[in-house]
């Protein structure tokens, strides 16, 4: 297993030396196929420091696919390779980590290239404030996790062989880092700022993978405190459900397209958290499918927003009118990904929401009204955004040419969301 990790790292290191986008894509495709071959193995592969099980494989597939799509979407590969490649390497090592200390170090280390990606490649002066928000929120919340890990290290050096006592403070300390990373409502203010100020590549990697680090951490650490987590799951579920509904309502009043998509991610992650803490097997499967579905659909919205920004030089929804006449080819993809965003069938988004809804309702019937309101608000802001930018009258009719490169990326985003519904066991626990 250790030899395999070095085998993976070598081509990734060589990527930095390459000047050809096509060579980069070929290597990333081969890496993705290598992980896909491992799905036939039903048993986890473990070494002294590395772990490769089904959950790790799902996240590794999402990571490598997302990086491939970023390469297809970007117009300046060499500029962003110095930050994207370290993020990719750190994420692969994080999802394959078995040692709890190494997991924490890698979990925090990914913030460094992410901060540089926002700071060095962002366009506005506010990018510095966004980077500070990102660091303060995530590092402050992660310090209690470090305290918990040091306390637990007296028992074992492996991630799955330790048990946590029922101390309420230790459970809160452990979960806080992952709740902020997802992010949970009330700890989410860093995400809209980071999305708005990040370049296209930063927004895509944030939406596709970095938010899923929180969910992955919770899935890994839940078995350690499953006997005593009932003390906080009611509060987390309540805050997540109310927060998801509130952020969905907040999306309706957003004018910046990137900010709207960021708040939409907060709402979706609130739904994921709610289902995760019901401790239902169907809910866990729905969570894994939703993380894949959201990673594909939300990531695809940012190339679409970037394409509009390159043509109109603004992201203000009010200023977009009559996109159906000016950019009809982009209109088609806006419609398809808006359908994914509201979980229209037949997609894995639909199946994940059905599974998560059933787990939440089985936990408490009284939550059904909030679930209905949350789904209604999600559909409302998605349709409102689509109608505002696609329809209405454009006073100045100008036919705008679109790069064909973006359509390849959007197609690869879209196809798995449809085809994976026929083989859901690939992306479930």
**Inter-residue contact 222 to 232 (CB < 8 Å):** no
> How many C-beta neighbours within 10 Å does residue 182 have?
28
* Cα–Cα dist 268/274, whole Å: 10
Q: Is the peptide bond prior to 346 cis by the omega test (within 30 degrees of 0)?
A: yes
What is the per-residue pLDDT for 354? 92
Distance CA 42, CA 403 (A): 42
Q: What's the CA angle centered on 296, arms 290 and 299, to 5 degrees? A: 120
236-246: per-residue pLDDT in tens? 899 999 999 99
Say how far apart CA 351 and CA 359 lie, in whole Å: 12
**Cβ 267 vs Cβ 328: under 8 Å:** no
Report the C-alpha gap between 150 and 167 in whole angstroms.
Answer: 15
**Concatenated DSSP letters of 330-398:** HHHHHHHHHHHHTT-SSSHHHHHHHHHHHHHHHH-GGGHHHHHHHHHHHHHHHHHHHHHHHSS--SS--
Residue 421 CB coordination number (10 Å): 19
Helix-helix angle 2-15:77-95, to 10 degrees? 170
Please name every residue paired with 46 in a beta bridge, in sequence order, or none if there are none.
Answer: 51
Burial of 20 (0-12, 13-18, 19+ CB in 10 A): exposed
Residue 79: predicted pLDDT: 74
Distance CA 153, CA 167 (A): 16
Contact status, residue 367 vs residue 278, Cβ threshold 8 Å: no
pLDDT-flagged residues of the chain (< 70)? 1-49, 154-169, 227, 394-403, 428-429
pLDDT at 154: 66
Contact 243, 319 (CB under 8 A): no
List all residues 6 or more positions away from 139 whose beta carbon is below 8 Å from its beta carbon: 108, 111
Residue 273 pLDDT: 92
- What's the total number of domains in the chain? 1
Write down the pLDDT at residue 41: 53
- State whether the Cα torsion 400-406-383-421 is positive or negative: positive
Range of the domain at 124: 1-426
pLDDT at 263: 93
Asked whether 153 and 166 are in contact (CB, 8 A), the reply is no
| Residue 160 confidence (pLDDT) | 46
pTM of the model: 0.86
pLDDT tens digit sequence for 355-372: 999 999 998 888 888 888
Query: Is 151 within 8 Å of 208 (Cβ atoms)?
Result: no
Residue among 391, 382, 389 nearest 252 (CA) = 382
Q: Beta 51-52 vs 45-46: how paired, if at all?
A: antiparallel
Residue 47: exposed, middle, or buried by beta-carbon count in 10 A (0-12, 13-18, 19+)? middle
């Amino acid at each position: 297993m250790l030899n395999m990790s070095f085998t993976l790292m070598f081509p990734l290191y060589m990527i930095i030396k390459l000047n050809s986008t096509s060579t980069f894509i070929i290597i990333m495709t081969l890496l993705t196929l290598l992980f896909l071959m491992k799905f036939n193995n039903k048993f986890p592969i473990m070494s002294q420091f590395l772990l490769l099980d089904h959950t790790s494989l799902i996240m590794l597939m999402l990571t490598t696919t997302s990086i491939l799509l970023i390469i297809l979407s970007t117009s300046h590969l060499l500029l962003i390779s110095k930050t994207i490649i370290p993020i990719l390497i750190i994420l692969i090592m994080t999802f394959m980590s078995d040692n709890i200390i190494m997991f924490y170090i890698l979990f925090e280390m990914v913030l460094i290239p992410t901060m540089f990606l926002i700071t060095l490649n962002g366009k506005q002066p506010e990018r510095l404030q966004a980077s500070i928000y990102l660091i303060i929120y995530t590092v402050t919340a992660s310090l209690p996790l470090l305290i918990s890990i040091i306390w637990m290290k007296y028992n074992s050096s492996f991630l799955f062989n330790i048990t946590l006592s029922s101390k309420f403070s230790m459970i809160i300390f452990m979960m806080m880092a992952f709740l902020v990373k997802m992010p949970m409502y009330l700890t989410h203010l860093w995400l809209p700022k980071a999305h708005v100020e990040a370049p296209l590549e930063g927004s895509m990697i944030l939406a596709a993978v970095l938010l899923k680090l929180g969910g992955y951490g919770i899935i890994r650490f839940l078995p350690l405190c499953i006997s005593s987590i009932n003390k906080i799951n009611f509060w987390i579920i309540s805050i997540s459900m109310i927060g998801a509904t509130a952020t969905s309502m907040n999306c309706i009043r957003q004018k910046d397209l990137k900010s709207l998509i960021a708040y939409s991610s907060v709402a979706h992650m609130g739904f994921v958290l709610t289902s995760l803490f019901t401790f239902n097997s169907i809910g866990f499967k729905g969570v894994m499918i939703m993380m894949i579905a959201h990673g594909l659909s939300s990531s695809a919205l940012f190339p679409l927003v970037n394409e509009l920004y390159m043509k109109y030089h603004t992201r203000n929804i009010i200023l977009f009118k009559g996109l159906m006449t000016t950019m009809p080819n982009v209109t088609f993809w806006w419609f398809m990904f808006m359908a994914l965003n509201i979980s229209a069938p037949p997609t894995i988004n639909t199946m994940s929401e059905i599974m998560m809804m059933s787990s939440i309702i089985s936990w408490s019937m009284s939550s059904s009204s909030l679930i209905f309101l949350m789904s209604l608000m999600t559909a409302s802001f998605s349709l409102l955004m689509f109608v505002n930018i696609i329809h209405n009258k454009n006073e100045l009719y100008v036919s705008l040419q679109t790069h064909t490169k973006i359509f390849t990326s959007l197609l690869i985003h879209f196809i798995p969301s449809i085809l994976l519904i026929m083989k859901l066991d690939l992306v479930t626990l």
